[in-house]
Structure 1
Amino acid sequence: MLRVMIVEDEQPILELMERLVGEHPLLQVAGAFTSPIAALNRHAELKPDAVFLDVEMPKMGGIQLAEKLKAQNEELQIVFTTAYPDYAVDAFRVHAIDYLLKPITSEELERVAARLQKLHVMRSALRPVVAADHEPIVRCFGTFETRGSDGRLINWPTRKTEELFAYLLAYPNRLVGQWQLADLLWPDLDEDRALHNVHNSVYRLKKALKDAGVSLDLSNSNEGYRLQLSPDFSDLERFRDFMNRTAEIDERYAAEAVKLLRSYAGSLFGSKDYSWSAGLATGIAAQQASLVRMLTAYYRRIGERSAAKETLRVYLLHAPLDEEMTGELLRLYVEDGEAGSFRTQYERYVGRLAAELGAAPAEEIRKLAAAFVHKSTEA
């Protein structure tokens, strides 16, 4: 159930709104005010998910109040109410997900409530979670963790055992030569000693997993080793499986795509400095960007612009210097006239570029910023 705050300076209309919202099964009245200033003062305490705002009110209009409320909570969903169907509709959509035309009817409220609920579910799905019942055994994004059947982290007997496992996870369902592993993991040792270490590490790997209650199909032959994995064994394998079978996201794949984005916690293997994983990590990062590109395009197609922006914001938490996705988010802000959000994102991006790379934004992004600032100043 969504908590709703109502701000309407006309008492009879406020009472009607309270009754309609209170009777709706998806909505709950968190607070009702005739004074926009009183509503602003109580907002942080009431913590509404959405707010219905009258456009024309004394002392502080609905659009001005919306800007102040969004500054406190960027995820707050705004619905404007107005008696004038042609009154600054473009301005409404700067901050609002919809608007209601007075006199308010239960049918119109039903339409808006369904939209509010849909966006709330999407945003909730995009928020990171601490744990889930369907967590994979191995997490490879942003870290490298393997958990046993009791949920506890496996402590590997040696760092090379852990790296061996990482390599087999990175290249599953294929034969990996034993000499290849020897050269990769022990390049400074003589052949016999390196091959001996390979055999010992495979034994330790199998034992550690067996002791932790993890079943693994790791076979060996004279040529090498083959690790057979199901798509659910690791977050990396889940992601690969999805990308291999999905060329475009539609309503069939959207929920799964959102879950994959939500589980993305950073680069492959996190801070593990494996010499062989750099190229692979770059390829996976490119696929992650492709997933975000497809999901954003899907939300654009169905008109869910707030979800498109949220998708980009979630991704940029882990890839803040991604030029393409930053540009896409900035363009959405421009299209929706969200000057404050544009400025915040642009300044953050410029600061990170300068601090981490000593670079300036691409010319296209600088031109976009200059044009938008000029347009905002003229308005």
Structure 2
Amino acid sequence: MLRVMIVEDERPILGLMELLVGRHPMLEAVGAYTSPLIALERFGELKPDAVFLDVEMPRLGGIELAEKLKAMDEEVQIVFTTAYPNYAVEAFRVSAVDYLLKPVTPDALERVAARLAKNQALRSAIRSAPVPGERAPVRCLGTFETRGLDGQLMSWPTRKTEELFAYLIAYPDRLAGKWQLADLLWPEMDEERALHNVHNTVYRLKKALKEAGLAVDVTHTNEGYRMQTPKGFSDLERLRDVKGRLAAISDERDAAEATEAFGSYAGELFGGKDYPWSVGVAAEAASHHGALARMLAAWHREQGGGLDAAKEVLRAYLGLAPLDEEMNAALLRLYADGGEAGMFRRHYEGYSKLLADELGIAPAAELRELAARLSL
């Protein structure tokens, strides 16, 4: 049973949505509001699996509300309701599952409910997939947090201590030259003072790790420092490890491992912290995420009845990399091959608008031709 919140400023339509949702065997209405502000207030308490949002609402529109809800719970599924059939790109930007045209019919709700249930099932599978060892103490993908032996979040003594740790996590078991670290962390400072800061910051780092009970060895040579960590210490290391070992998925075990690594990528490396030296590592991690998405989508397509899972993998990937031409094309082909003209149209329109807005270009000729054949 999926817990659903409904937000609609027109009371008669809200009543109709409550009635339709209440009659559906897979859905349970846990809250219905004409005020988006009250809905936002109650969201954390109710913890719905999905939210049906009107697009046009006073004081706080559906798109803006969706962004706020996603910030509170990135896994909540958003479905928009609208009277405008040409609307698409805004839903595309906030990774909406679908949208319903008013007046909403039982058949349309049935289609959306089936999609919501499939998405929920796949996410449950991702969360319960076998993990190689315990949860990584360090999460770098989409955030940057480190937990001590007691499971509590570490608080770093200084920002430079945290940045030094990030650098050593990005380049583990590799000698980091002391002058290199001085130049990376204090580029504006004279060399002697910068080197003094390196020594002090390494001391603080070792002390913080020891107090947190983490089995990390930071060793010193005349040339610099090296950090050695236990296997599986960070989600970045696990992502690199899985991608390095899997050129393709050949069985269920590979698929489970790839699914876990793929699901661990929740966004930009270190949560987008402004570390100039991390640009190359961030690109590497994003590339690994895309490679796993391609492998998983191919694996699910090859399995009988795996097309919905393949589409969910592609949608999850595009939620983080919406301009990826290859993956957008793959998803659109799956919609076209499955006869999902409505989903094709909505995604194509959103993708086209995004390309025009961000890059000033149109979709590839192959996709334009496919859209023309589907009478878009």
Which residue matches 1:314?
316
Pairwise mapping of residues 214-363 of structure 1 onto structure 2 (< 5 A)?
A: 214-251=214-251, 252-303=253-304, 304-363=306-365
Worse-matched range after superposition: 342-351 or 138-147: 342-351
Letter in 1 for 2:158: T
Q: CA deviation at 1:269?
A: 1.2
Q: CA deviation at 1:127?
A: 6.5
Q: Quick one: higher RCO (CA 8 Å, sep 6+), 1 or 2?
A: 2
Q: In structure 1, what is the Cα distance between the partners aligned to 2:225 and 2:297?
A: 40
Letter in 2 for 1:332: L
Deviation string 1:5-39 (CA, Å, 9 cap, x unpaired) is xxxxxxxxxxxxxxxxxxxxxxxxxxxxxxxxxxx
Q: In structure 1, what is the Cα distance between the partners aligned to 2:161 and 2:365?
A: 47
Q: CA deviation at 1:44?
A: 5.6
Q: In structure 1, what is the Cα distance between the partners aligned to 2:325 and 2:293?
A: 13
In the alignment, is the contact (CA less than 8 A) between 2:26 and 2:113 conserved in 1? no
Q: CA deviation at 1:128?
A: 10
In the alignment, is the contact (CA less than 8 A) between 1:137 and 1:234 conserved in 2? yes
Q: In structure 1, what is the Cα distance between the partners aligned to 2:301 and 2:139?
A: 31
Residue of structure 1 aligned with 2:111, choices 51, 59, 70: 70
Q: What secondary structure, in the 3-state scheme, does the structure 2 residue paired with 1:349 have?
A: helix
Q: What secondary structure, in the 3-state scheme, does the structure 2 residue paired with 1:299 have?
A: helix
Worse-matched range after superposition: 195-204 or 297-306: 297-306
Which residue matches 1:182?
182
Letter in 2 for 1:370: A
Deviation string 1:262-282 (CA, Å, 9 cap, x unpaired) is 221011112201111112211
Could you tell me the TM-score, scaled by structure 2's length?
Answer: 0.68
Letter in 1 for 2:26: K
Q: In structure 2, what is the Cα distance between the partners aligned to 1:181 and 1:276?
A: 11
Deviation string 1:68-105 (CA, Å, 9 cap, x unpaired) is 4113442346xxxxxxxxxxxxxxxxxxxxxxxxxxxx
Pairwise mapping of residues 154-169 of structure 1 onto structure 2 (< 5 A)?
A: 154-169=154-169
1:46 equivalent to 2:29? Answer no
In the alignment, is the contact (CA less than 8 A) between 1:43 and 1:69 conserved in 2? no
Q: % of aligned pairs identical? A: 55
Q: What secondary structure, in the 3-state scheme, does the structure 2 residue paired with 1:74 have?
A: helix
Letter in 2 for 1:309: K
Q: In structure 2, what is the Cα distance between the partners aligned to 1:74 and 1:364?
A: 27
Q: CA deviation at 1:360?
A: 3.0
Q: In structure 2, what is the Cα distance between the partners aligned to 1:170 and 1:265?
A: 17
Worse-matched range after superposition: 309-318 or 341-350: 341-350
Q: In structure 2, what is the Cα distance between the partners aligned to 1:174 and 1:315?
A: 31
Q: In structure 2, what is the Cα distance between the partners aligned to 1:293 and 1:45?
A: 35
Which residue matches 2:46?
none
Radius of gyration: which is bigger?
Answer: 1
1:204 equivalent to 2:204? Answer yes
Q: What secondary structure, in the 3-state scheme, does the structure 2 residue paired with 1:225 have?
A: strand
Q: What secondary structure, in the 3-state scheme, does the structure 2 residue paired with 1:218 have?
A: strand
Q: In structure 2, what is the Cα distance between the partners aligned to 1:239 and 1:175?
A: 22
Worse-matched range after superposition: 363-372 or 144-153: 363-372
Q: In structure 1, what is the Cα distance between the partners aligned to 2:334 and 2:231?
A: 34
Could you tell me the TM-score, scaled by structure 1's length?
Answer: 0.67
Any gaps of 5 or more consecutive residues in structure 2?
3-18, 29-104
Pairwise mapping of residues 12-51 of structure 1 onto structure 2 (< 5 A)?
A: 41=20, 45-47=24-26
Q: What secondary structure, in the 3-state scheme, does the structure 2 residue paired with 1:281 have?
A: helix
Q: What secondary structure, in the 3-state scheme, does the structure 2 residue paired with 1:226 have?
A: strand
In the alignment, is the contact (CA less than 8 A) between 1:70 and 1:76 conserved in 2? no
Q: CA deviation at 1:219?
A: 1.2
Q: CA deviation at 1:361?
A: 2.5
Alpha-carbon distance change, 127 to 366 in structure 1, aligned in 2, over 3 angstroms: farther
Alpha-carbon distance change, 354 to 127 in structure 1, aligned in 2, over 3 angstroms: farther
Q: What secondary structure, in the 3-state scheme, does the structure 1 residue paired with 2:169 have?
A: helix
Alpha-carbon distance change, 149 to 258 in structure 1, aligned in 2, over 3 angstroms: same
Q: In structure 2, what is the Cα distance between the partners aligned to 1:316 and 1:127?
A: 19
* Number of equivalenced pairs: 280
Q: In structure 1, what is the Cα distance between the partners aligned to 2:338 and 2:358?
A: 30
Which residue matches 1:369?
371
